[in-house]
Amino acid sequence: MQDMNAMQATHFLRLLSRLKPLMAPTLPISTSQQTKFILKSAYASMAYAAGPRRVWSRALVRRIRRNRRRPTMRIINKRRHVVRPRRRPAEGGSEELRKVIPGGDTILNGARLVEETSDYVQFLRTQVIIMKALVSSFSKGQHG
């Protein structure tokens, strides 16, 4: 797992290094665009480190590629939201997991769903550790 963490961190830093040229004074980008770039970089590095063996990593890659092809301006349809009564956790536990895990709706086997969820959570934890380390190193650089 240590190799996966290092690979995830390396890939994330490589993707983040692409952000610096985008922040040149001649081409200003907004804070929201920077945030989206960092989020995409985080997801891409997680998917890269996990490899194609996981459903969620393939789903993340598909989502990133699909969003890249979308035009920057799009029309958003407004819909009414229907309030539905909540289900008890015992009834919909696996359904809730399927909603949380990217690509979870394609997993039919309960044991496989739990395995994918565990793997996804592990990579999310690693991503949080990487981001905390980055924030701490940047804050030390500014104050030190």
> For 39-98, what is each residue's pLDDT tens digit?
888 888 888 888 888 999 999 888 888 876 555 544 455 566 666 666 555 456 788 888
Q: Higher confidence at residue 133 or residue 73?
A: 133
| Spatial separation of the C-alpha atoms in residues 42 and 129, rounded to whole Å | 12
Whether 16 and 41 have beta carbons less than 8 Å apart is answered as yes
Q: Which two tokens stand for residue 57?
A: 């990593």
> For 3-45, what is each residue's pLDDT tens digit?
767 778 887 887 777 766 655 666 667 888 888 888 888 888 8
User: Is pTM beyond 0.85 here?
Assistant: no
Residue 144: CB atoms within 10 Å: 5
| pLDDT of amino acid 143 | 62
Q: Which two tokens stand for residue 92?
A: 């919909």
Q: Higher confidence at residue 119 or residue 90?
A: 119
Longest Cα separation, the chain: 55
Helix/strand/coil for 81? coil
Mean pLDDT of 100-108: 88
Residue 43: CB atoms within 10 Å: 20
Which range among 69-78, 84-93, 111-120, 130-139 shows the weakest confidence by mean pLDDT?
69-78
